[in-house]
Structure 1
Amino acid sequence: MRDAVMVEPKYARPHPESPAAPRVADHPLAALATALEPYGVRYRFIEDEVPYLRVGNPDSQYAVEDIRCEPRARGHAFLSSYGVTMGTSKDIDHAAERVAWLVGATAF
């Protein structure tokens, strides 16, 4: 008797890995979220067509801002939902302070 050889159906074979999407932890918005932690704001990374960071003041249900990130010649710029630059990836702490101020979590 011959040894039985198992054959996997073509549809059951694992597919090669698709190109990896950038991990959330590697995104410049993740660094901004980390810098926002001392201000006590709440935040959530939204993976949309254009990812953004939704930042809110826990003391107000209305003080919420969506911060998006755009590549620039040197690093990235963090922009409010109405297009005002909150800072850059070169000075994350300053950007975090401005975002916290925008949602009323700190005084400038």
Structure 2
Amino acid sequence: MLFQLAIQDRMSASRAWMLGLGLLAADLEANRQYRFDHAPTLPCGVTAIGWGDDHEIPVTTMAGWKDVADDYRLVLIDGGHHAFLEAPADLLVEFERDLTSASSTTP
């Protein structure tokens, strides 16, 4: 009986792996076929906030936002990738700046 359960567990694990591999293959194929020809222009401004010591998302990868917004700002704040979790004052200043200017233009 124990041997039979072990075999069933292996077969279940094998099916789970096959399902996972099938999903991964489908995801990769969808990614290969995806084409993005033209980004729409956003009806609002964009403030892209980067971190000076962020090695996961370098600030150089954030410049594309200028292609989708007429009002675009790139702000670089001291700190690493997870610095926003500490809510540094420089980040809060940027939030306040954008939220205050947005509320002043709302009827």
Q: Same fold (TM over 0.5)?
A: no
**TM-score normalised by length of structure 1:** 0.24
Q: Which has the larger radius of gyration?
A: 2
Greater strand fraction, Structure 1 or Structure 2: 1
